[in-house]
Structure 1
Amino acid sequence: MAKYLISFPGAAMVVPDDEWEAVVRDSHVVIEEAKAAGVYVFGGGIDEGVPPVLVSATGAIAQGGYPWAPPLNGGFTVLELTSRGEAVAWAARIAKACRCDQELRVFGYDPQS
């Protein structure tokens, strides 16, 4: 089994104001189905009200993220699944519920983790 990251950047969610309640409801239904199926690991959204900091190996803190990288925002779900095909199917369900395409990535396996 592998862990898959299903995510979207905040700008991808272009939803009319009158549809937000349905998006929240539909996305929660998919998450509850993933929990019931035993594949849900965790999920949520990046709190954009809390700015990122860079922490060095010495513990020094600098405000902001990497200046050359795009901002990390939006929502994400991590599922543990048996195949990439299964991951694509769950990503499609989440895309339908959220009304936006989802990026799909697999976490590399580290036997020490």
Structure 2
Amino acid sequence: MQVPAEEMPAVSEASRTVIREAKAAGVYVFGGGINSGVASLMVSADGSCETRTYPQTSEFDGGFCVLELPSRDEAISWAARLAAACRCAQELREFHYDSES
């Protein structure tokens, strides 16, 4: 996200508008930003911890928005709305359904 500081309030409001629309449409599940002030922690099966992350995510900065949608096309449409609001591309992922979760 390459947005001048003076434009961030407008970007924030635009993205929140899309989230409010998702909530009104009944498709919003949850969302939130990554707290960049807290270091990532890798926790092993034995409970030991290291302050690190996977190499491919070491520069991750941003947040998540989880929507429950009937199709991939709908997901692409919502992702495009968020991309326009945030002024940057959005990565679209699909959760694997697990009846035990």
The TM-score range, normalised by the shorter chain, is over 0.9
Secondary structure of the residue aligned to 2:57 is: coil
C-alpha separation in 1, matches of 2:27 and 2:4: 31
Match of 1:5 in 2: none
- TM-score, scaled relative to structure 2: 0.93
Structure with larger RCO (C-alpha < 8 A, sep 6+)? 1
- TM-score, scaled relative to structure 1: 0.83
Match of 2:7 in 1: 19
C-alpha separation in 2, matches of 1:63 and 1:99: 31
Question: Which consecutive unaligned segments of at least 5 residues does structure 1 have?
Answer: 1-12
Question: Which letter maps to 2:57?
Answer: P
Q: Cα RMSD (Å) of the superposition? A: 1.1
Match of 1:70 in 2: 57
Match of 1:97 in 2: 85
Match of 1:55 in 2: 43
Question: Which letter maps to 1:40?
Answer: Y
C-alpha separation in 2, matches of 1:24 and 1:63: 30
Among 20, 25, 28, the residue aligned to 1:37: 25
Match of 1:8 in 2: none
Which runs of 4 or more aligned residues in structure 1 lie more than 3 Å from their structure 2 counterparts after TM superposition? Answer: none
C-alpha separation in 2, matches of 1:27 and 1:63: 31
Question: Which consecutive unaligned segments of at least 5 residues does structure 2 have?
Answer: none
